[in-house]
Amino acid sequence: MTKNLVIVESPAKAKTIEGFLGKEFTVKSCFGHVRDLAKNELSVDVDNEFTPRYIISPDKKKIVNELKKLAEKSEIVWLASDEDREGEAISWHLTQALELADDKIKRIVFHEITKDAIIKAINNPRLIDRNLVDAQQARRVLDRLVGFEISPVLWRKVKLALSAGRVQSVAVRLIVEREKEIDTFKAISAYKVVGDFILLKEGKEHLVHAELNRKFENKEEAEAFLKKCIQANFKVCNVETKPARKSPSPPFTTSTLQQEASRKLGFSVSKTMVVAQQLYEAGKITYMRTDSYNLSDLALATCSKEVSELFGKEYHQTRKYATKTKGAQEAHEAIRPTYISAHTIEGDASQQKLYEMIWKRTIASQMADALIEKTNVNISISTTTEEFIAKGEVVKFDGFLKVYIESTDDDNEENGKSILPPLALGDLLNRTEIAAIQKYSVQPPRYTEASLVKKLEELGIGRPSTYAPTISTIQKRGYVVIASRQGKERLYDVLTLKNASIQYQQRKEVFGFEKAKLIPTDIGNLVTTFLLEHFPDILDYNFTANVEKEFDEIASGHKVWNNMLKEFYSPFKKKVKYIEKNSEKVSGERLLGVEPETGKNVYVKLGKYGPIVQIGETDEVNKPRFAGLLKSQSMENITLTEALELFKLPRTLGIYEDKEIVASVGKFGPYVRYNNAFFALPKTENPLRITLERAIEIILEKIEKNSKKLIKEFESNKEVKVLNGRWGAYIAIGKENYKIPKGKKPEELTLEECLEISQEEKKTGKKTTKRSKK
DNA sequence: CAGTGAGCGAGCTTCCGCTTGACTT
């Protein structure tokens, strides 16, 4: 019987800490919050001091019971949840859920998982900070009020099952507004001039590449300049060398890890988190949901040793980074390898790549600046005052660059920062070619998942644990999609001076191509417009920052939490009621034109199940006709011709083996139907255009694939099957499915083994998976 | 589950943050 029960949030952490403490301590994890507001009702008594009604979260009942039993047998319960607002609340909820007496609990905190830190924490227990808990309650209740009051307004005024929230609505707004910027963006162009010269020195020819120190607004000016160059002499008129230094980036936080993994490894935000979680659970890295740049003293010391041994003492520099992130809570360390000495790890390719990146970033953060020598050489032109400038860069001491180079979102800086030939004042240069190239300004880039996270973090909106879920929520609600945009072609001018003649040329370039970016949908646009009109304060980019200030005042005891909520709620609720009563339903209806045959109006608007086209008026005796838009179309861009075409569905494509093939769009997207079965069309196919041949191909493929679904069947018991599913092989018995234990080959399973596995899983209480209803 | 889109109105949807497994066209 142990005397001490320590409760932390994460099970991996519990395991590590148990090793540090003696036999007298049992360490358990509560898996985060154990109580919350009930899911399907407001659960806040708004007329009575905003008293929350908490329940034990259904998925935590088991763990709460277990902890309760252990707590009863213990003398002291050490509440060791994270040292931040949520962590403090978790501890307080534990005292309530486990019914712990005040004299039985001790609250302890530590920021790093080292033996010293834990022992120190145990020796310095404190009480639960009720002010901090109240700040969390204010945060929780505010989010509930915002979400559960505004969402129903959207159901009635826009479309069913939509949602609004302090974080998600602002995230969507960012994407919507970026798209607007792109729509209204007008590219302007200027002529950039680059020159190639030859330097003759010591019998050798050296090539010098330089750029003019100004741009020209139009072709005429550019041409006039080139003409002046025909007779000109080019001479080095200034050589300037100055030292510069580059410093490494701080070690990773959740958000910077997501950004860098996206740029360097092409990982989605959620993939990064899944892989990081695996590394964490395997004990390879520290906790992956953090906003702190801090490294433990132990980590600093081992980095110092590692750098010195690998590269020499002169490469090492101890650095501590201060957090500049708004609202950071810094309950953890930065993300770093648990053991710096492990340069690589075992694991799958994703784990290895992500680990290597974390290792390099951590090590580099404790390395010396790179020392660089930058050289600017000015080249005068005898016939005019403009000058060419050649830039060179020489790394004198590589420092941290030996290990790690951070990438940026706009990796298109091409202008050569290379080594320059030995240019000296007064050197004469021969021109080989001077070109004036028309360059267009670049439209703002659409957000990637990772760059959206970066923006949200800058605004102090969302937390490390919610970045990935937020991105998936706004997609699930249909506000945004991840899609690519084809680039468009345009011509640009190139004027080239070679020998004594100027050649004029037009070249083609593709611009605006973007791959896998966040793009708003019609619904995203409509909802954002609606919310901006009626709830501008909540959609304000500073809303979170402002309420955070109030949460801080609650935490410091200068404000009472339910008073803060009262101040917010009274005007807010009034607004909600007013809108319910006075605002019209929005559908984004737009008149496209008239149908030629009938002269009836053709509209596009948001219907109950998504965007639709309507021919005729709603109040006519003859009901209007409707057709849904294709996924690739949008309410904003659809043309009358495209809209009318939609009414050609369903389309009969032809006959295959005596049966008709029909293409159309259904509840689940475009499909072809054949022999009473449905075959979903891949994204690349359009039901309006698909040919009979292609449809047959798709049908045969699917039939082929289905035949492979069955791995094994048993004569004596037809109920039992081994099937191939999306996540590999599984056993299906009637309508229940069972996992195949690791180490067993699906093809070799016998009927007896299958039944045994199903019995086993039922007994261990594992939830068997039933076919989802509906 | 693969043809809905009016209006009536039963019963439903929805937030953010903390944590892991379980999840099967």
| DSSP state letters, A667-680 | TTEEEEEETTEEEE
How many Cα atoms sit within 13 Å of A169 on the Cβ side? 29
As a rounded value in angstroms, the CA-to-C1' distance for A297 and B25 is 52
Judge contact between A497 and A429, C-beta under 8 A. no
3-class SS shares of chain A: helix, strand, coil, % to 5: 35, 25, 35
For A626-630, what is the mean pLDDT? 88
Closest by Cα among A189, A187, A219 to A436: A219
pLDDT at A271 over 80: yes
Nearest nucleotide relative to A709: CA against C1'? B25
- Which pLDDT score, from 0 to 100, does residue A762 have? 64
Q: Work out if A608's Cβ lies within 7 angstroms of strand B.
A: yes
Q: Contact A333/A285 with Cβ under 8 angstroms?
A: no
Which residue from A17, A70, A9, A53 is spatially nearest to A34, judged by alpha carbons?
A9
Q: How confident is the model at residue A773 (pLDDT cuts 50, 70, 90)?
A: very low
> How far is residue A680's CA from residue A661's CA, in Å, rounded to a whole number?
13
In one-letter notation, the amino acid at residue A635 is M
Our measurement of CA A157 to C1' B14, in angstroms, reads 14
Side chain identity at residue A466, one-letter code: T
Q: What is the pLDDT of residue A764?
A: 56
Question: Is A758 within 7 A of strand B by CB distance?
Answer: no
Residue A772, CA: closest nucleotide via C1'? Answer: B24
> Would you state the pLDDT for residue A671?
87
Q: Which nucleotide minimizes the distance between its C1' and the CA of A767?
A: B22
Determine which one of A287, A355, A569, A671 is catalytic: A287
Q: Could you tell me the two tokens for A485? A: 């945009």
User: pLDDT per residue over A561-596, tens digit each?
Assistant: 999 999 999 999 999 999 999 988 888 888 999 999
The residue with greater pLDDT, A102 or A708, is: A102
Q: Evaluate if the CB of A339 falls below 7 Å from strand B.
A: no
| Residue A772 CB in 7 A reach of strand B | yes
pLDDT value at A323 more than 60: yes
- CA–CA separation, A271 vs A275, rounded Å? 6
For residues A195 and A388, is the Cβ–Cβ distance under 8 A?
yes
Residues forming a β-bridge with A79: A7, A107
Is residue A210 within 8 A of residue A388, CB to CB? The reply is yes
What's at A642, amino acid-wise?
E
Q: Is the CB of A147 within 7 Å of strand B?
A: yes
| Closest by Cα among A259, A329, A331, A251 to A295 | A251
Provide mean pLDDT across the span A490-515: 96
Q: Which of A497, A506, A415, A431 is nearest to A225 (CA)?
A: A497
At which residue do the structure tokens 């690349």 appear?
A: A684
The answer to whether the C-beta of A392 is closer than 7 A to strand B is no
pLDDT above 90: residue A720: no
Burial readout A635-661 (b: 16 or more C-beta within 10 A, e: otherwise): beebebebbbbbeebeeebeebeeeeb
**A392 Cα distance to chain centroid:** 37
Q: How far is CA A22 from CA A77, A559, A595, in A?
A: 15, 42, 82
pLDDT at A224 over 60: yes
Using the CA of A611, which nucleotide's C1' is the nearest one?
A: B5
Both tokens of residue A516? 């896998």
Residue A216: pLDDT over 60: yes
Instruction: Using a 7 Å CB cutoff, list residues 676-715 of A near strand B.
Output: 678, 680
- Cβ–Cβ contacts within 10 Å for residue A496, how many? 15
Tokens linked to A287: 């906790």
Residue with CA nearest to B16's C1' atom: A143
User: Of A636, A609, A200, whose CA–CA distance to A432 is shortest?
Assistant: A200
Q: Is A536 left (phi over 0), alpha (psi -120 to 50) or beta?
A: alpha
- Looking at residue A598, its amino acid is T
Q: What is the pLDDT of residue A767?
A: 44
Q: Which sign does the torsion angle of CA A14, A15, A20, A25 carry?
A: positive
Classified as helix, coil or strand, A647 is helix
A287 annotated active-site: yes
Rounded Cα gap, residues A709 and A50, in angstroms: 54
The answer on pLDDT for A768 being more than 60 is no
Asked whether the bond before A650 is cis by omega within 30 degrees of 0, the reply is yes
Is pLDDT at A325 greater than 90 in this prediction? no
Residue-wise pLDDT for A437-470, tens only, equals 999 999 999 999 999 999 999 999 999 999 999 9
Q: Which has the higher per-residue pLDDT, A606 or A547? A: A547
Cβ atoms within 10 A of the Cβ of A376, count? 14
In this model, does residue A193 exceed pLDDT 60?
A: yes
Query: Tokens in use for A458?
Result: 């800058």
* H or E element in which residue A686 lies: none
CA of A772 to C1' of B25 (A): 12
Angle at A300 between CA A298 and CA A305, to 5 degrees: 95
Contact partners, residue A455, CB within 8 Å, separation at least 6:
A174, A447
Kindly give, in sequence order, each residue whose CB lies less than 8 Å from that of residue A686, ignoring residues fewer than 6 positions away: A630, A632, A670
Predicted pLDDT of residue A410 = 62
Residue A127's CB is within 10 A of a number of other CB atoms, namely 9
In the predicted structure, residue A771 carries a pLDDT above the cut 50: no
What is the length of chain A?
774
pLDDT band at A765 (very low <50, low <70, confident <90, very high): very low
Q: Which residues 40-59 in chain A have a CB closer than 7 A to strand B?
A: 40-42
Q: Which residue has the higher pLDDT, A507 or A720?
A: A507
- Retrieve residue A229's tokens: 């160059």
Distance A3 CA to B13 C1' (A): 47
Cα atoms in the 13 Å half-sphere on the side-chain side of A626: 12
Nearest protein residue, CA measured to C1' of B18: A32
Distance of CA A425 to the CA centre of its chain: 51
| Burial (CB count <10 Å: 0-12, 13-18, 19+), residue A169 | buried
Rounded to whole angstroms, how far apart are CA atoms A455 and A446? Answer: 12
Q: Lowest-pLDDT range, A215-229, A390-404, A627-641? A: A627-641
Query: Which positions on chain B have an atom < 7 Å from some protein CB?
Result: 1-6, 12-25
Phi first, then psi: what are they for A289, rounded to 5°?
-110, 90
pLDDT at A608 over 80: yes
For A496: left if phi > 0, alpha if psi spans -120 to 50, otherwise beta; the answer is beta
Q: Is A86:A33 a contact under the CB 8 Å cutoff?
A: yes
Distances (CA, A) of A200 to A206, A207, A430, A431, A702: 6, 9, 9, 12, 69
Hey, what's the torsion of the CAs at A679, A684, A690, A691, to 10 degrees? Answer: -90
Strand partners, A730: A723, A739
Assess whether pLDDT exceeds 80 at residue A329.
Answer: yes
Mean pLDDT of chain A: 91
Q: Which DSSP letter does residue A125 get?
A: -
Q: Report DSSP state, residue A60.
A: G
Report the alpha-carbon distance of residue A264 to residue A51 in Å, rounded: 48
What single letter denotes the amino acid at residue A85?
A: R
**A117-131, A369-383, A618-632: least confidently modelled range:** A618-632
